Amino acid sequence: MLDRPAAHDVLLVVDIQNDFLPGGNLAVPEGDAIVPLVNALAQRFEHVALTQDWYAPGHRSFASSHRRTPFETITLPYGPQVLWPDHCVQGSLGAEFSSALSIPKAELIVRKGFRPEIDSYSAFCEADGVTPTGLAGYLRERGFTRVFLAGLATDFCVAYSAVDARKAGFEVVVIEDACRAIDTGGSLAAAWKRMNDAGVARATSNEFLA
Ligand code: VGL
């Protein structure tokens, strides 16, 4: 059983945006199922931050920018890139947080993916592996030492954020049932392997909500 979330803990709620929910352009199966859980979890944490994919129109990670089919993988200057349907475009309805998400006390919104040439699954570091979002510095300056993660999708933005949070020196716990995965081409199993190797811990929401 985990100790109760305390002043040095932050809940990072990843990308609960319309495009990742049923009916959205990159719908994550059952993505909507976690929203009430995440709302409840947020009440148990003193501190909550949100992430929001905020892609420039015509982003390099969009299949439409290459006249390719979504879910193909191509090589970009920084490495392999899965090509996605256009989603979470800046200012679009799909980029807005779900109207069912209710976390008015969230203290920070980190936007990512705004550079047209670089994807950013991670809330900490863009896909080139060197461009920081500034989140690690923010969290450190606020005195946080442990990052809990919930949101979408387990195998992409949650996993990359979790691994990068470890790299940045935080303790990291993924609240597994408060996440859902895309799971394309074995991505979910691969993501858990990377998270386990990086020392990311797993928890379930009942450890907080009981
Ligand atoms: C995500 C794929 C593409 C995510 C974002 O939020 O996990 N996945 N863009």
Predicted confidence at residue 1, as pLDDT, reads: 60
Q: Take residue 29 and report the two structure tokens written for it.
A: 């199966």
Q: How far is CA 34 from CA 66, 81, 124, 130, 138, in A?
A: 33, 27, 23, 31, 27
Specify the 3-state DSSP secondary structure of 112: strand
* For residues 45-61, average pLDDT: 98
- Cis peptide upstream of residue 153 (ω within 30 degrees of 0): yes
Predicted confidence at residue 4, as pLDDT, reads: 80
Distance CA 150, CA 175 (A): 6
Say whether pTM exceeds 0.85: yes
For 95-113, the pLDDT digits (tens) are 999 999 999 999 999 999 9
| 45 CA distance to ligand 1 middle (Å) | 25
> Which amino acid residue places its CA nearest to atom 8 of ligand 1?
156
| 27 CA distance to ligand 1 middle (Å) | 10
Active centre residues (catalytic): 15, 112, 157
- What is the best residue among 112, 157, 184, 188 to mutate for testing ligand 1's pocket, by most ligand atoms within 8 Å of CB? 157
Q: Which of 174, 161, 169, 178 is nearest to 200 (CA)?
A: 174
* For residues 26-48, average pLDDT: 98
Place of tokens 């490495």: 79
Around Cβ 157, how many Cβ atoms within 10 Å?
Answer: 25
Q: Ligand 1: which atom is nearest the Cα of residue 158?
A: 7
Distance CA 65, CA 31 (A): 26
What proportion of the chain, given as a percentage, has pLDDT over 90? 97
For 157-208, the pLDDT digits (tens) are 999 999 999 999 999 999 999 999 999 999 999 999 999 999 999 999 999 9
* For residues 37-51, average pLDDT: 98
> Which amino acid residue places its CA nearest to atom 3 of ligand 1?
84
For 142-167, the pLDDT digits (tens) are 999 999 999 999 999 999 999 999 99
Average pLDDT score over the chain? 97
User: Which residues form the pocket of ligand 1, taking CB atoms under 6 Å from any ligand atom?
Assistant: 15, 20, 53, 84, 121, 152-153, 156-157, 182
| 7 CA distance to ligand 1 middle (Å) | 29
Q: Ligand 1: which atom is nearest the Cα of residue 17?
A: 6
Place of tokens 């879910």: 71
Q: Is the pLDDT of residue 210 over 90?
A: no
| 157 CA distance to ligand 1 middle (Å) | 5
* For residues 78-84, average pLDDT: 96
* For residues 103-127, average pLDDT: 97
Predicted confidence at residue 134, as pLDDT, reads: 98
Q: Which amino acid is at 50?
A: L
Q: Ligand 1: which atom is nearest the Cα of residue 84?
A: 3
Which residues, other chains included, contact 2 with Cβ-Cβ below 8 Å and sequence gap of 6+?
Answer: 173, 203, 207, 208
Q: Ligand 1: which atom is nearest the Cα of residue 87?
A: 9
